[in-house]
């Protein structure tokens, strides 16, 4: 049976009034009592029926935002764009950092719903889509940004990752590079970028040697480690496509450490066009995602759904753009 506020009170050994105070952050209760109630809520998998409260018009003027890693400049800029647009409509944003961890996702979703948020923006692949599906089934306003969950009928704002991957690879091919490696994060968006990379290489009738495709996590250190691994190969690449700017920054570090000059000895392309791409040395050639527009469109869709102006779900696919800077050049003969 579904947990109730009464069963939570019984589990925690307190009154239903005390549970209500914890949920709504009202009244005066001890820190230990608050912890006991939260532990009981977690044990019983209890969360208030925020969908019903929202549909009854009890607005809190707050949105929830789930991101996988706020230290990644891409998600930091996404969060800022969402916050700016939400402020235009008079809404605050409560952000949670999930680390792509299923348990954290579950806990933060419970926390946000207990705060009776009016809508939710999910900027991660989300390991437990069934939890989101339950909220959607109740009519809760939600939008995905920079990620897709195919099984869900939900508003989505993404960039054309396949086109971005193809632009990056084609740029390197146009400079005469034939030995091109790729470093990707193991997420759905990067799968599309990898598919585009393979397609462009196949069209150019070029092989992809073993070891030229490296999967890792999105971090500068991981880009550095992956770059060192690729560049230590006997027949290494003359160019590397790193599927986000963090990985690309790490590759630049690795190249310099092994004595390679960028772009004379090695060309590097990133993806995202975050502020990081203009702070590296040399500045990074990258694929630009329209981050500000993505955030604004996500909030607009959320507002429209709350107003019940549109019954159907939208999938907005925005176009990326190649930004050429100093990290790529024609191959030296």
Other residues' Cβ atoms within 10 Å of the Cβ of residue 204: 14
Q: What is the pTM of this model?
A: 0.80
Is the domain spanning 49-159+293-318 CATH 3.40.50.2300? The answer is yes
User: pLDDT tens, position by position, for the chain (333 residues)?
Assistant: 667 878 888 999 998 778 877 776 666 788 889 889 889 988 888 876 554 444 444 567 899 999 998 989 999 999 999 999 999 999 999 999 988 888 888 888 888 887 788 899 999 777 778 888 888 877 888 999 998 888 888 999 999 999 999 999 999 999 999 999 999 988 777 889 999 999 999 999 999 999 999 999 989 999 999 999 999 999 999 999 999 999 999 999 999 999 999 999 999 999 999 999 999 999 999 999 999 999 999 999 999 888 775 567 899 999 999 999 999 999 875
Residues of CATH 3.40.50.2300 domain(s) within the chain?
A: 49-159+293-318, 161-289
Fold held by 161-289: Rossmann fold (3.40.50)
Fold held by 1-46: 434 Repressor (Amino-terminal Domain) (1.10.260)
pLDDT digits (tens, 9 = 90+) for 78-135: 999 999 999 999 999 999 998 888 888 888 888 888 778 889 999 977 777 888 888 8
pLDDT digits (tens, 9 = 90+) for 298-322: 999 999 888 775 567 899 999 999 9
């Amino acid at each position: 049976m579904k947990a109730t506020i009464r069963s939570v009170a019984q589990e925690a050994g307190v009154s239903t009034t005390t549970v209500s105070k914890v949920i709504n952050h009202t009244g005066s209760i001890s820190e230990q009592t608050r912890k006991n109630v939260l532990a009981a809520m977690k044990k019983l998998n209890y969360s208030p029926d925020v969908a019903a409260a929202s549909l009854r018009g009890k607005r809190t003027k707050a949105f929830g935002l789930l991101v996988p890693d706020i230290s990644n400049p891409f998600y930091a800029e996404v969060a800022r764009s969402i916050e700016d647009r939400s402020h235009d409509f008079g809404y605050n944003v409560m952000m949670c950092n999930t680390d792509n961890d299923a348990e954290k996702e579950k806990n933060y979703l419970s926390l946000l719903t207990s705060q009776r948020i009016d809508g939710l923006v999910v900027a991660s692949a989300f390991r437990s889509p069934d939890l989101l599906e339950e909220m959607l089934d109740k009519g809760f306003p939600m939008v995905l940004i920079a990620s897709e969950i195919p099984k869900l009928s939900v508003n989505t704002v993404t960039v054309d990752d396949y086109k971005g991957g193809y632009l990056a690879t084609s740029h390197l091919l146009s400079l005469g590079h034939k030995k091109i490696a790729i470093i990707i994060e193991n997420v759905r968006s990067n799968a599309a970028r990898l598919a585009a990379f393979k397609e462009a290489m196949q069209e150019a009738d070029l092989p992809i040697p073993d070891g030229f495709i490296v999967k890792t996590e999105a971090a500068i250190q991981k880009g550095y480690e992956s770059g060192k691994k690729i560049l230590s190969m006997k027949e290494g690449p003359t160019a590397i496509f790193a599927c986000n700017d963090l990985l690309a920054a790490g590759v630049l570090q690795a190249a310099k450490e092994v004595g390679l000059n960028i772009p004379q000895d090695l060309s590097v392309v990133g993806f995202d066009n975050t502020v990081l791409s203009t702070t590296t040395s040399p500045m990074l050639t990258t694929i630009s995602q329209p981050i500000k527009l993505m955030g604004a469109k996500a909030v607009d869709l959320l507002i429209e759904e709350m107003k019940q102006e549109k019954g159907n779900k939208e999938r907005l696919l925005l176009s990326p753009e190649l930004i050429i800077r100093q990290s790529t050049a024609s191959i030296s003969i």
